[in-house]
Structure 1
Amino acid sequence: MAELAALEDPRAREVNARHGDDHGVNLGKLRAIAKRLKTQQDLALDLWATGDTAARLLSLLICRPKAFEQGELDRMLREARIPKVHDWLVNYVVKKSPHAEALRLAWFSDSDPVVASAGWALTSERVVKSPDGLDLPELLDVIEAEMKDAPERLQWAMNHCLAQIGIEHAELRARAIDIGERLEVLKDYPTPPNCTSPFAPIWITELVRRQQVS
């Protein structure tokens, strides 16, 4: 904890605060500490228990994803209100857990939109890697009905799922683009040069173009 405190950088904190994150540690330096520590499950649990954001991010880098029980991951997800902690927990830990599918189903329709966004993130992963058993047209129905008025983090997760359906499944691409065009979610999102807009019709079209070129 003292080492993390020594890495506090006011400029990093200012940048992170724009994204809702409350820590001032450069993530490259945090990853360097994790590389030195290697996997240490007990230390990871102790770091998580501090509640400190930088400590929790380090925890997620040195933990053993398959060591967690389903209930532990559910509790951690509900505690993870900081966007970067939430994102790393889902992507670095839950996706590698044998409980990922059970948690996807449990979280998908949760009344807490932040928890539900994790369910949608796991669903997007399945859309790409293992779509068998998913009702993709039904997912599009839900997105069409609910994405426009969804809270921000849930809206982002649903939009990501919409884009992945359009990118990965040619038979549903036209419908996915049409939904995106009609709902106009993230249409005016400021996008830096050389980055792809998160507006689903642009995102889908650009990624499909790249696949065809390669």
Structure 2
Amino acid sequence: MEYPGNLFVVAAPSGAGKSSLVKALLELDARLAVSISHTSRAPRGQEQHGREYWFISPEEFRAKAARGEFFEWAEVHGNLYGTSRAGIEDRLQHGEDVVLEIDYQGALQIKQLFPYAVLIFILPPSWDELRLRLNRRGDTEPEVIAKRMNNARIEVAQAQHFDFVVVNAVFDTAVFDLKTIVHAQRLKYAAQRRNRSAVFQALDLP
């Protein structure tokens, strides 16, 4: 089913800057809304329930998954992450543009269920820079960083299945690239026909 709203799905390896880029994009574009995912992991730092994630127990998460409440879900770094089906579909049906920050597994699942979704992959400029960014966090053990670097090689290889790729070498440039993708999607024929129906009718366009 094609909805009035656009669904943008952003994925990246840990440390590539996905969350910071999406946050900056949302500050620039009031028409975008972020979808808050559910996770079984504990909050980190200043994260709050209902702001960054809905934090629930692994048991509650699996119960929701069994009831089919998630649009997609996956296990990442030993934790469960999922996207509410009802929450996404309701927003899209009301013409909202929604951004999802998820892992590549969930992104590819969504593309199967929702072919009109726009998949965007964030790449680091190099492996050395990715390792540096992970080390800069200061709250991750060396063995965890090593594991995330290994996982990143698997994740980066999936970029070929995405519609767009943004290289986060210079932050402001990467934000501009993201905003350009969103704007271009809104200018597509089908989107303009939905949102400017009076113009299309006046010009006798199908």
Larger fraction in helix: 1
TM-score range, shorter chain: under 0.3
Give the structure-1-normalised TM-score: 0.26
Higher relative contact order (CA 8 A, sep 6+): 2
Larger fraction in strand: 2
